[in-house]
Amino acid sequence: MRGNRLLIVAIVIVALVAAACAADDSEGAPPAEDGEAKVEETGETLGGPATGDTTAQVDTPPPAGDTPSEDLDRAEVVVAAISRILTIDNMFGGRDVFDDVRVADTIGGEEGNPLQPIELELIAAAVQDSATVTFIPDADALTQELFEASPQGVAIVSIGEVRFESDRAEIDLSMWCGSLCGVWLTYEAVPGPDGWSITGPIGPIAVS
């Protein structure tokens, strides 16, 4: 009986020694290879790179403040010209007579040359205190539709062409305001500390 007990004690001691050796081996194990460390650092998986933040890969439109200078210049010329024809050269001696303004949404009537968002925004802001503003795709068609009725207070404005030179610009503009009310002219614009402004009409002026 005593011999059996000694055998059991010996087995237990051997087991304890083996466990202690195994623990020492794990603490002294060499670090992971470079390739294994990179997998953890980069988040790569066996199927390829791990899915993460892809914001940089998405095309984000630029903020409104990032409008290119040439677009802003054209916008200022267009707004200044429209404001001038509605309030000064409007066939009514400059009186405030329009409460419904329709503006063609393309320059020269060409589908490939639409007014830019900054132009639409600035035109609306310049006119909205005195009239409602609507941007229309076809000024000629609307003019024909309203020609016989010629409703009072309505103005249809079309932009013909905007031409820039080194220190000035020209803009062709027309406004229809009734069967016996209309003006076609060219404005000159110049830059200044506060932006572009209209100096006045240049060249021939047609009225009806």
pLDDT tens for 126-148 read 999 999 999 999 999 999 999 99
Q: Are 79 and 38 found together in one domain?
A: no
Q: Identify the domain containing residue 31 by its residue range.
A: 2-42
Q: Are 153 and 196 found together in one domain?
A: yes
If one counts the domains in the chain, the total is: 2
Q: Are 86 and 144 found together in one domain?
A: yes
What is the reported pLDDT for 69?
81
Q: Are 109 and 199 found together in one domain?
A: yes
What whole-number distance in Å separates Cα of residue 53 and Cα of residue 57?
9
Whether residue 53 lies inside any domain: the answer is no
48, with CB counted inside 10 A (0-12, 13-18, 19+), is exposed
Show the tokens assigned to 96.
């405030």
Average pLDDT over every residue of 175-183:
94
- Angle, in degrees to the nearest 10, between helices 117-127 and 69-87: 30
What whole-number distance in Å separates Cα of residue 185 and Cα of residue 158?
11
Q: Are 26 and 110 found together in one domain?
A: no
Q: Are 79 and 23 found together in one domain?
A: no
Q: Are 38 and 107 found together in one domain?
A: no
Confidence class for position 56, pLDDT limits 50, 70, 90: very low
Q: Which residue would you say has higher pLDDT here, 153 or 20?
A: 153
The secondary structure of residue 55, as a DSSP letter, is G
Which CATH number covers residue 174?
3.10.450
Q: Residue 188: is its pLDDT beyond 90?
A: yes
Q: pTM for this one?
A: 0.67
Q: Are 151 and 186 found together in one domain?
A: yes
Confidence class for position 192, pLDDT limits 50, 70, 90: very high
> Quick check: 188 and 98 in contact, CB under 8 A?
no
Whether residue 122 lies inside any domain: the answer is yes
What is the reported pLDDT for 101?
97
Whether residue 168 lies inside any domain: the answer is yes
Q: Are 74 and 167 found together in one domain?
A: yes
